[in-house]
Amino acid sequence: MKGLTAVVVLAVLLGVSLEGCVGSGMGYGFASSKLQIQQRRVDRLRNSIDGLRSKVEVAHSNRDMDSINQLDKRLLILDVPNCDEGSVRCGLSEQCMSDLLFCDGVQDCNNNYDEESCSNVPITGSFWAGDLYRARCGFVENSHLRLFITGHNHKYYFGSRIGITASFVVKYPRGSGMHTDSYNMVGQYSFGKQELDIDAPHNEFELRCTTIRSDSWMSCEIVQMTGGNSCGHAHLVIQP
């Protein structure tokens, strides 16, 4: 912006200088020569401005939308939640809406946020990995976790939720080697809450993950089904 201002000021000064030369009674030949010089300078300035305009247009067309989305998510987190239980904010607006009304084909948020947040679900075939910390309930600290999303089950009449099946693998040291536990998980993803909630067989535990902070990693917690105690936390990052 400062560069453009300098260009405009320079062009104005050149115009004033030219006007002074012509109006001072100098000969036509000298004035004509000065006019040609000034015209060439103005042409160069015009080309510079056109070049700047092109760069701005390219910058707009090449915007990193992933980075912009990440920034929006961070701004949303910074604001203190002001919605009742069962409701979520309509993006960065102050309006609250029931999470059950998201992605049902009907605009409920004034800014249409409830119908624009319907594609961030962990996709079938995606693979997420990370390490467990603050482990309790028999889980081992620094266990390596792997989550494979194996299937979706989307009911057209219940758009706010999508059924999820997944394979959850916990690998940890035991004795002189490594031991692996595998679980076939079943649960759902909430578009409004941006939350994955899947249960292990026989109600051993549930895995709760939120994607509200990022589309490339999830903040997860293992929770006991009986008692609701926290059994550990992990950041699961999507793998290539």
Angle at 80 between CA 75 and CA 81, to 5 degrees: 105
What is the structure's pLDDT at 186?
96
**Residues 60 and 53 sit within 8 Å (Cβ to Cβ):** no
- The count of other CB atoms within 10 Å of the CB of residue 78 is 7
What is the structure's pLDDT at 142?
93
CA 172, chain centre distance (Å): 32
- What confidence category does residue 140 fall into, taking pLDDT thresholds of 50, 70 and 90? very high
**Residues 152 and 124 sit within 8 Å (Cβ to Cβ):** yes
- What confidence category does residue 51 fall into, taking pLDDT thresholds of 50, 70 and 90? low
236 has pLDDT over 80: yes
Q: Which pairs count as long-range contacts for 97-100, CB under 8 Å and 24+ apart, including other chains?
A: 97/192, 98/192, 99/160, 99/190, 99/191, 99/192, 99/193, 100/160, 100/192
Q: Which two tokens stand for residue 54?
A: 């092109």
- The C-alpha atoms of residue 168 and residue 152 are separated, in whole angstroms, by 15
What is the structure's pLDDT at 168?
97
- Express each pLDDT in 104-120 by its tens digit: 889 999 999 999 878 77
- The count of other CB atoms within 10 Å of the CB of residue 39 is 12
Residue 40 or residue 151, greater confidence:
151
Cα of first residue to Cα of last residue in the chain, in angstroms, is 40
Among the listed residues 230, 211, 191, the one whose alpha carbon sits nearest the alpha carbon of residue 99: 191
Instruction: State the fold for domain 121-238.
Output: Lipocalin (2.40.128)
Mean pLDDT of 97-105: 91
**Residues 113 and 101 sit within 8 Å (Cβ to Cβ):** no
Q: What is the 3-state secondary structure (H, E, C) of 170-226?
A: EEEEECCEEEEEEEEEEEEEECCCCEEEEECHHHCEEEEEECCCCCCEEEEEEEECC
**Residues 226 and 206 sit within 8 Å (Cβ to Cβ):** no
- The C-alpha atoms of residue 23 and residue 26 are separated, in whole angstroms, by 8
Q: Measured between alpha carbons, how far is residue 179 from residues 138, 173, 174, 182, 192 in Å?
A: 14, 6, 6, 10, 37
Q: Where are the alpha helices (DSSP H) in the chain?
A: 2-23, 28-61, 65-78, 113-116
Lowest mean pLDDT among 29-38, 71-80, 128-137: 71-80
Mean pLDDT of 50-70: 55
214 has pLDDT over 70: yes
CA 89, chain centre distance (Å): 16
